[in-house]
Structures are given as C-alpha cells and as structure tokens.
Amino acid sequence: MQSYSVHDYLLPRGVGGAFVAAWVTPSGARWQGDHLYVIHDAVPNPADMIMCATMVRDDVLCLVNNQTGNTKLITWPHRSESEHALTTRVEAAGNKSLGTFDDAAFDYFISINKHKHVVTVLEMCGEQHTALVSLCAHGIDGKLGVVWTEELLRIVNTIAGIEAPEHLHMTLGFQPFIELNLEHQQEREQFAWESFVDQSI
C-alpha cells in the first residue's frame, strides 16, 4: 500500500500514511521494531530523499520526518494517568525517538522506489552498517547520510521474476542482516563524511 500511495496520491481514499504493528502472544504484547522508510528516485539523490522513521516509545507512536523537521507523537492516556504524567511521558518519548533517529540505530531500513513498485526491507539489527547499505549519523540533527551499494541499487530497481514488467507490477523483498567488516565500515564512514558533511559546512 505504501508503494502505490507514493506513486499515486491515495491519502484522500484512505490509503497511505504511517503504519505500525504489534505482536500479541500469550505472554503479552510487543510493539514492532524501529523502521526507517526512505522514499527515493531510481538513482537516489540525498537532497530529494524523504525519510520517515516510525518508532514506539512508552506506548507513544513517534513519527520523525526529515522533510518537516517535526516529530508527530500519537498516544492515549494510561489508566489513572494524570494530564501532567501524560505530557511528561509523551515529551520523553519524543526525545528518545529523536535520539534514535540522530544515531541512525534502526531495526529495519525500508526502501520505497518512486519510479517502480519496488519495496525492499533490509534488516539492520540496530546497526549503522550492513553489507548492502550504511546509515551515517554525524551529529547533525535530523540529517542522515545513506551509502548505497551497487548491489542494493540493482535490487531496489528490479521487478523480480518478470521479463517485461508493467506499471502496476510490484516486488516486495526482504534482505536479512549481513555484517560488514570494520575496514569497509571505516571506508564508508569516510566516504559519507566527504559526501554529506563536508558539502554542508
């Protein structure tokens, strides 16, 4: 749904927006992990990428968006919770979510291609680096750098299994976490610094 709503503005029809999930088991409920959605062109341009993170902290859904600079916070009062306690909980959750965003520490990186219906979910396990992508945080509030590998660019631009895909054909892929060695991490961090930070100073 996210992919189709990116290509065609479907919010007035009730399609799109933020999604959040939870597991309910005999031992209790658990919120989903932290997701970073990245909406991009076929060749990602840092200036045009839309990033939106969905995180839950203390039963507060936190939406951090790099385009608006605002954090949306959605929750409900706990039983017998005072208005002051509710406000304090929400403010603390917002600060925690901003810290996670600025540290680029997500459980999942979700690529949404604006030109083809390709959605690719990468397992990050809270790390900044995987074999396919690196998220680079350099202490600039609300700004993250993304280092895309050639293999990831191929994946996010491929409608799998169809020789001549049509406009509405879609691929949803999942890439498990693959650790990146320290040497390559340092190379990507240097590249990210030169690409994203030096140019902004």
Could you report the per-residue pLDDT of 75-110, keeping only the tens digit for each?
Answer: 999 999 999 999 999 999 999 999 999 899 999 999
- Per the structure block, which two tokens stand in for 137? 């945080």
- Write down the pTM of the prediction: 0.88
What single string gives the DSSP state of each residue in 172-183? EEEE------HH
What per-residue confidence (pLDDT) applies to 201?
A: 47
Each of the 201 residues of the chain gets a pLDDT tens digit; together they read: 566 566 666 677 777 677 888 989 899 889 999 999 999 999 999 888 999 999 999 999 999 988 887 899 999 999 999 999 999 999 999 999 999 998 999 999 999 999 888 999 999 999 999 999 999 876 656 678 899 999 999 999 999 888 777 777 888 999 999 999 999 999 998 888 887 765 554
What per-residue confidence (pLDDT) applies to 184?
A: 92
What per-residue confidence (pLDDT) applies to 136?
A: 86
Distance CA 78, CA 37 (A): 29
Distance CA 144, CA 109 (A): 12
Q: Which of 74, 69, 73, 66 is nearest to 50 (CA)?
A: 66
Q: Please tell me what DSSP assigns to residue 160.
A: T
